[in-house]
Amino acid sequence: MRHIASETSGLIVPRECPCGREGAFLCTRCAGLLRVPPVRVDAVCDALQIVHRSRLRETPEGPAGVDHRALLPVLALGEYSGDLQRLVLGWKNGGLAHLARPMAQGLAPAVAMLCSGAQAPVLVPVPSRLEAQLRRGEHHTGELARALARCTSARSSTVGLRLGHGQRGHGARERRGRSAVLTGTVPGGGPLILVDDVVTTGSTLRAVVQALRAGGAEVRGAVVVASARLPAPAAVPGSSR
């Protein structure tokens, strides 16, 4: 009987990694994609750039112009392409819930980098838009934040946030961006770190950070599994990639 059951479950759930390799739900090669040093990607997220200072004429600090800096540091495990993209999609849309744990283990060093020596942070999942949550029937970034709390000193807490589209007529960045409204209270007890699956331009992160900071929160940064773009290797000191 047990033999029949194992044969049957083998038919229902073939052991296959999202990359297509058979024999394991996560092959060693794909597991390796999650065990890499986190990379700062905020400099390549257009929507996260804010004007830091401007110079009317050339100074020792640089030529005339405007300096930008990112609204917050964002750390990612790699580029959203190839097998890493297949992992994220399999987890998010393909029902492969077991991938949350290895993704969280991969992101744990990123949480430590954002809060080294500081008070234990509170991990806040970036909400999906409502229609995406309804389609999937669950809040997958919440699941990732909880898995991350289990392998770090942090705790996770959801925050009431309503996402919408950016209002028109409030500048180019807002026009192509998103908006977020805080509908709940900011969790206390430590600085906040946002948790998301993928960052593209950073417009959702920007909206969420602005809403949380307006509500009095200290947001240290964000950790994401993958980024649509990575900085050029020369721009990442100490990176082996």
Please provide residue 71's backbone torsions phi and psi, each rounded to the nearest 5 degrees. Answer: -65, -30
Burial (Cβ within 10 Å: 0-12, 13-18, ≥19) of residue 28:
exposed
Q: How many CB atoms lie within 10 A of CB 90?
A: 20
CB of 99 to Zn ion, least distance (A): 11
From 27, 33, 148, 159, residue interacting with Zn ion (rule: CB under 5 A): 27
Q: Is 103 in the site for Zn ion (CB under 5 A)?
A: no
Find the binder of Zn ion among 3, 8, 10, 17 (CB under 5 A): 17
Minimum CB distance to Zn ion, residue 197 (Å)? 18
Is 65 or 95 the residue whose CB approaches Zn ion more closely? Answer: 95
Q: Which two tokens stand for residue 222?
A: 């964000």
Rounded to whole angstroms, the Cα distance separating 146 from 195 reads 10
Applying CB under 5 A, among 30, 144, 145, 192 the residue interacting with Zn ion is 30
Q: How far apart are CA 211 and CA 183, in angstroms?
A: 10
The smaller minimum CB distance to Zn ion, of residues 16 and 46, is found at 16
For residue 31, the minimal CB distance to Zn ion (Å) is 8
Select the span of 3-11, 27-35, 43-51, 103-111 touching Zn ion (CB under 5 A): 27-35
Number of DSSP helices (H) and strands (E) in the chain, helices first: 8, 10
- Decide: is 195 part of the binding site for Zn ion (CB under 5 A): no
Q: Could you tell me the sign of the dihedral formed by the alpha carbons of 109, 111, 114, 119, in that order?
A: negative
Which residues are bridge partners to 210 per DSSP? none
Q: By rule CB under 5 A, what count of residues binds Zn ion?
A: 5
Taking CB under 5 A as the criterion, the residue among 16, 19, 109, 231 binding Zn ion is 19
Answer whether 215's CB lies under 8 Å from 186's CB.
Answer: yes
Closest approach of Cβ 32 to Zn ion, in Å?
A: 9
Q: Which stretch binds Zn ion (CB under 5 A): 16-24, 39-47, 174-182, 233-241?
A: 16-24
Residue with tokens 């044969």: 7
CA pseudo-torsion sign 172, 173, 176, 178: negative
Q: Which residues bind Zn ion (CB under 5 A)?
A: 17, 19, 21, 27, 30
